[in-house]
């Protein structure tokens, strides 16, 4: 009996101690999310509070519109999903591989001036993303450094930020859709549009993002690499494992938790890409850099359609959660 009473008291004390954090989380995290969820069920127009009794309640109409109704709202949303899917598919593997590569270089015993390179690689990550975006605008502009560099080698580069052509279309050298793909595909977008690939303009943004984020992830890999006991590697060496084998069968498995972290953070971050789009392109050219995060912002703050804008961000949230769960599952299966 006394034990039970004391446990109850312990519980109460515990709750008392975490109460400040719980309250702060509830007020600044949970409550706003619940409020946003309410807004996504209304057609609030941004005037006054969304919690008045005369704000029209529309149920799931805002969500319905994104998927089933054949109009511009759905088309824009689907285009943004397509753009962002290609973006994620390229950015996540690239930044993961690049970060690992940089970490291996910086961690190698042969490299001189390690701390210099470490800072240099990390530098883009600590610089403001807006400043970097503006710098890339100059580099990729029609008379910018990159265009002139390509010119020097006799290559006529594209007009990066005004080129709406899809990369996959370009690679295949196709201008017009073949009959099989011209028809309507899922959600009102033709197969031809779904399969366009990221546009040239989007590729410039992808290059920027990979360059900026890989520094942060390099640090994570670096920490993990330095955690691997030297003895392990020496043991592998004694067993006669070569360089590649040591990397493939000793280092890489030891990095698996970090790999999961980097992939998850990368996935979440790249589905939410906003500031680069806002600064560099605002969705142009021809909507090929439109992303759900930017579309949500535009729908809410430009069209005063806060309900639809919030609905987009909840769908985005759902996509991210589902993909993360899926990814966790895949990585766990490979472990067992």
Partner 1 sequence: MKHLPLAALAVLALAATACGSGFEDKPAAAPQSSGPASLRILIASSGDPETTAVKQAADAWAKESGNQATVTPAQDIHQQLGQAFAGGTPPDVFYVDASRFADYASVGALEPYGDKISNPDDFYPSLRTTFTRDGTFYCAPKDFSTLALIVNDGLWKKAGLAASDVPTTWEQFTEVAGKLKAEGITPLAIGDTRDRIGAFMVQAGGWITSADGKQATGDSPENLKALEYVKTLLKDKLAEYPKQLSASWSGEAFGKGKAAMTIEGNWIKGALKADYPDIQYTAHPLPAGAKQGTLSFTNCWGIAAKSVNKTAAVAFVEAMTRADQQLTFAKAFGVMPSRQSAKDAYVKEFPTDTAFVDGAAYAQGPVNAAKMDSVLSDFDAGLQQLTSKDPKALLARLQKNTQSALSD
Write out the DSSP string of 287-332.
Answer: TTT--HHHHHHHHHHTT--HHHHHHHHHHHHHHHHHHHHHHHHHHH
- What's the closest the beta carbon of residue 12 comes to partner 1, in angstroms? 8
Question: Residue 31: in which H helix or E strand, if any?
Answer: helix 31-39
In the complex, least distance from residue 157 CB atom to partner 1, rounded to whole angstroms: 11
Interacting residues toward partner 1 by CB under 8 A: 8, 11, 15, 22, 26, 30-31, 34-35, 45-53, 71-73, 76, 141-143, 159, 162, 164, 175, 283, 285-287, 298-306
Minimum CB–partner distance for residue 193 and partner 1 (Å):
12
Residue 261 or residue 286: which is nearer to partner 1 going by CB? 286
Q: How many CB atoms lie within 10 A of CB 321?
A: 11
**Shortest spacing between CB 222 and partner 1, in angstroms:** 38
Pick the closer one to partner 1 by CB: 27 or 235.
27
CA nearest to 316, candidates 13, 95, 38, 40: 40
Minimum distance from CB of 319 to partner 1 (Å)? 21
Residue 230: count of CB within 10 angstroms of its CB: 8
In sequence order, the β-bridge partners of residue 166 are: 199
With respect to partner 1, which residue has the nearer C-beta, 212 or 310?
A: 310
Partnered with residue 190 across adjacent β-strands are 184
How far apart are CB 169 and partner 1 at their closest, in Å? 13
Cα separations in angstroms, 42 against 76, 113, 211, 296, 334: 20, 58, 40, 15, 44
Query: 154 Cβ partners below 8 Å, 6+ apart?
Result: none
**Which residue's CB is nearer to partner 1, number 215 or number 307?**
307
- Between 164 and 195, CB nearer to partner 1: 164
Q: Is 222 helix (H, G, I), strand (E, B) or coil?
A: helix
Closer residue to partner 1 (CB): 124 or 157: 157
Q: What is the C-alpha separation between 44 and 57, in angstroms, rounded?
A: 8
């Amino acid at each position: 009996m006394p034990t039970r009473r004391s446990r109850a008291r312990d519980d109460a004390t515990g709750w008392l101690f975490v109460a400040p954090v719980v309250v702060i989380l509830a007020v600044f995290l949970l409550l706003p999310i619940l409020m946003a969820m309410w807004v996504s069920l209304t057609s609030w127009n941004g005037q006054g509070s969304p919690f008045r009794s005369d704000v029209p309640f529309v149920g799931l109409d805002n969500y319905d519109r994104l998927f089933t109704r054949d109009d511009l709202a759905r088309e824009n949303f689907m285009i943004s999903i397509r753009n962002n899917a290609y973006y994620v598919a390229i950015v996540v593997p690239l930044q993961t591989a690049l970060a690992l590569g940089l970490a291996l270089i910086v961690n190698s015993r042969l490299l001189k001036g390690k701390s210099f390179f470490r800072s240099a690689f990390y530098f883009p990550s600590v610089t403001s993303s807006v400043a970097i975006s503006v710098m890339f605008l100059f580099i990729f502009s029609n008379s910018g450094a990159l265009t002139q560099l390509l010119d020097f080698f006799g290559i006529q580069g594209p007009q990066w930020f005004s080129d709406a052509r899809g990369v996959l279309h370009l690679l295949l050298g196709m201008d017009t859709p073949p009959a099989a793909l011209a028809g309507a595909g899922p959600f009102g977008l033709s197969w031809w549009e779904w399969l366009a690939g990221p546009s040239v303009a989007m590729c410039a943004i992808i290059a920027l993002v990979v360059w900026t984020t890989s520094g942060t992830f390099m640090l994570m890999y670096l920490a993990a690499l330095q955690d691997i006991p030297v003895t392990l590697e020496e043991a592998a060496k004694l067993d006669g494992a070569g360089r590649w084998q040591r990397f493939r069968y000793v280092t890489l498995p030891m990095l698996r938790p970090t790999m999961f972290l980097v992939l998850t953070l990368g996935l979440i971050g790249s589905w939410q890409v906003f500031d680069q789009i806002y600064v560099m392109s605002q969705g142009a050219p021809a909507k090929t850099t439109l992303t759900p995060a930017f579309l949500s912002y535009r729908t809410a703050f430009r069209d005063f359609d806060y309900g639809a804008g919030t609905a987009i961000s909840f769908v985005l949230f759902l996509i991210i959660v589902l993909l993360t769960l899926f990814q966790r599952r895949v990585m766990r299966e490979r472990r067992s």
